[in-house]
Amino acid sequence: MKDFSIKHLENFSGIKAHTIRVWEQRFGILQPNRSKSNIRHYSLNDVKLLLNTALLVKNGFKISELAGKDHHSIATKIRQLTADKARREKVVSQLIICMYSHDIEQFDDILDSCFVTWGVDITLQELILPFLEKVKLLSYHDSSCEAHFAITAIRRKIILGLERVHSNIKSNKSALLFLAEGEHYDLMLLFISYILKKNGIKVWYLGTNISKDNLGLILSLKKPDYLFTYIPHKQKFKEHAVIPYINKYLTETNFVVVSCEQKSAKLEIDPHVSFIHYNDVEIALK
């Protein structure tokens, strides 16, 4: 069974590592194992307990009330939360546990239930994206089997969401979506496609590993208003394989580079190139 670091717990729960240590020492919430060098190691049960405890604290419970409670007591209180926001946070926590316990069937069932309960838009933007953020799967650097099955399942759901979007074109705008040569991780590109289609933009989805020659051919034929690509860390853009595409092909097309980073120092590349966070795709269309 996988062990987790305190940094994992911080990412999953949104609770700072310092606070987690205080909860351990003062309230005995967790009892991690320690390595010979005294580094904390947590089990999946520890992760589950912390996620549930953190959710209750965010919803008005005092940590002192929860100290000493067993998993069953905590789970009972979790079931009593009725606010939509709390229920969604609970779902994200369940997805994390299912991923690391390799419970593929339950992972799928949870997502299917979310589509029925909240619809495509909320499921994608308020459940799947926060899950990907917490488990650090906005870029594909984790080749573990649990990451692979989660990515595969989510990819299917995003494609299903795309199929459910009404195809009424509300705008005369069009967009071409691609990943450059050597790039194959298309989850976020599919998400961008969903946002564009939802906003009535005509989408041409080229997909992954697109050569600059093929991109140039399609650009000359389709002449889209927007060209979208996804690069997780925009500071790496200057080293990226997409650079040779710019000067040759971009004259009237707006090139939008979507990343998973919040606003930082602006990169001066080309007046046609803009960098946005994935939550701001709709803003870029205005």
Quote the pLDDT of residue 127: 96
Domain ranges of the chain: 1-81, 83-164, 167-284
Residue 202 to residues 45, 173, 236, 263, Cα–Cα distance (Å): 46, 6, 29, 27
Phi, psi of 56 (to 5 degrees): -65, -40
Protein fold of 83-164: 1.10.1240
Least confident of 20-34, 112-126, 215-229, 230-244: 230-244
In whole angstroms, how far apart are CA 103 and each of 9, 43, 146, 151? 20, 16, 9, 14
Instruction: Kindly provide the residue ranges of all beta strands, DSSP E only, lying in the chain, ordered along the sequence.
Output: 33-34, 40-41, 174-180, 202-210, 226-230, 254-259, 273-277
Please, what CATH class does the domain formed by 1-81 belong to? mainly alpha
Residues ≥6 apart with Cβ < 8 Å to 285: 173, 196, 199, 201, 226
Using one digit for the tens of pLDDT, what is the confidence trace for 11-46? 999 999 999 999 999 999 998 888 888 889 999 999
Read off the amino acid at residue 63. I
Which residues fall within 8 angstroms of residue 117, CB to CB, at 6 or more apart?
none
Q: Looking at domain 167-284, which CATH architecture does it have?
A: 3-Layer(aba) Sandwich (3.40)
Q: How many of the other CB atoms lie within 10 Å of CB of 234?
A: 22
pTM here is: 0.89
Euclidean distance between CA atoms 172 and 185, whole angstroms: 29
Mean pLDDT over 158-169 rounds to 78
CA contacts within 13 A on the Cβ side of 10: 10
> Cα separation of 193 and 105, whole Å?
27
54-63: pLDDT as tens digits? 999 999 999 9
